[in-house]
Structure 1
Amino acid sequence: MRGLPARRIASTALCTALLVGLAGPAAVAADPARERAHAASRAPLPDADALLAQVKSLGDLGGVLTPATDLLNAVLKADNGQLPAADAAELGTAVKDAIAKVTGAAAATPATTLPALPALTRTGGAPADVIGDALAALQKAIDELIKAVTSGEAAQVTPAVTTTVTSLVNTVAATLLGGKLPAPSLPSPPSPPALPTGGISYEDS
């Protein structure tokens, strides 16, 4: 009688081994299917690369606008538009760093033309690098603004602020027109206003 429990244990172990042996190949066969399903679930969206490039253009634009508007806000709230040299340098450096980052990204992107959108006119130059030109103009405007807000001459500040704001508008326009972004879908988009001379300007096409 004592042999029965031992035989039952051996029989149970044998059945378990057989079941594991049978299930093993099925489990192995199921793994590739699971891997394929997992890979399919991780597949990128169609045209994801193009859409990511558009999102990056907008992100880069925000990266420039934020430090530039921080500088302008500080200037316009300061007495006579004058800032301590250290504060002006810190704010100006933040803008310059953002411009340098976007300039590097723009230089690595092939220039394209967008004939379906309003044309950009440039005196004596081709519209091949509108973003780079706009960023260079913005950098120059920021340099002049920093000089003005640390000069002790309030009369120099307003023209410098106006030039900087115009340069920011030009940068936005250049990014929208040269950054491979989709055309606006407004029902009746208004005609863009003419910008001051010396920067990017619009003409009705």
Structure 2
Amino acid sequence: MRALPARRIASSALCATLLLGIAAPVAIAADGDSARGHTSAVAAPVPGADALLAQVKSLADIAGVLAPVTDLLNAVLKADNGQLSADQAATLGQAVKDAIAKLTAAAPVTPPAAVPAVPAVPAVPAAPALPALPTLPKSAEAQDDKAPGASGPRAAAPADLAGDALAALQKAVDTLLAAVTSGDPAGVVPAATAVVTGLVNLVVAIVLGGGLPVPDLPGLPSLPSLPAVPAAPAVPALPTGGLLPS
């Protein structure tokens, strides 16, 4: 008679275990779904992230070109008499070319700055013809062309600094590759120096034109600003005295 309560206790314990085994994964899954929902609800970019991401991309663009160019320079300057095999020079040079082409393709095309349109001058009644003015000497005309604020072909928009720096760097790399496979070590150091200079020019061009924050290191000299677009010439004022006497 005493065995019956024991069986009932064991049966009850088994049922409770089965219920816990079924309910526990469901509860854990529900908690996981709740956590994921909470995470997705708060996963939003901070204000101003887009501008910072653009700056980070500019720095990454610099790094993408720095690595292959410095690899080439290290290989050249550590080689015997600065000479590389044709295959090694071709491999290192192609890596630089690919990096420059990638950065050139990723760079946005900046249209030239638009000059504000000159407002139309209101029509005035025709005035009697005036006698012709004497012709100015050529020297005076040349001086007039050079007057400040003169418009025309001389008033050019700022150049694409990054694009010019990339083109100059590629040209310097091509010169270096020719020097390291020529068998003459005399031209290696000048060509390598030109590549280092071209790399510095590229870094400065991206820093100045990439919208990066202004450096604030104490004691650091201020960087020059980009050249400004020339202002449009002023519209001459209309005469206020009315029509000329007949």
TM-score range, shorter chain: 0.5 to 0.7
Which of structure 1's runs of 4+ aligned residues deviate more than 6 A?
A: none
Say if 1:111 and 1:128, in contact at 8 Å, map to a contact too.
Answer: no
SS in 1 for 2:160: helix
Q: Percent identity?
A: 64
Out of 208, 214, 221, the position equivalent to 1:183 is 214
Alignment CA distance shift 1:111-1:67 (3 Å): farther
Report what 2:49 is aligned to: 48
1:104 is paired with a residue whose SS is: helix
More helix by share: 1
2:191 is the alignment partner of 1:160: yes
User: Which consecutive residues of structure 2, in runs of 5 or more, have no partner in the other structure?
Assistant: 1-29, 114-154, 228-246
Q: Does 1:99 align with 2:130?
A: no
Tell me, in whole angstroms, the C-alpha distance in 2 between the residues paired with 1:112 and 1:184.
27
TM-score, with length taken from structure 2: 0.56
Please, which moves more after superposition, 129-138 or 41-50?
41-50
Q: Report the Cα offset of residue 127 of structure 1.
A: 3.0
SS class of match (1:100): helix
| Preserved CA contact (<8 Å) 1:64 1:99 | yes
Offset of residue 62 of structure 1: 0.5
| Long gaps (5+) in structure 1 | 1-26, 114-123, 193-201
User: CA distance change for structure 1 residues 91 and 152 in 2, over 3 Å: closer, same or farther?
Assistant: same
* Distance in 2 separating the partners of 1:125 and 1:161: 33
Paired residue type of 1:159: P
**Matching of residues 1-205 of structure 1 within 5 Å:** 38-106=39-107, 108=108, 110=110, 126-190=157-221
Q: What per-residue deviation string (whole Å, max 9, x for no partner) do you get for residues 128-148 of structure 1?
A: 411111011101111111011
Give the alignment's Cα RMSD to 1 decimal: 2.9
Choose between structure 1 and 2 for higher RCO, CA contacts under 8 A separated by at least 6 residues: 2
TM-score, with normalisation over the residues of structure 1? 0.67
Provide the aligned length of Structure 1 versus Structure 2: 154
Letter in structure 2 aligned against 1:67: P
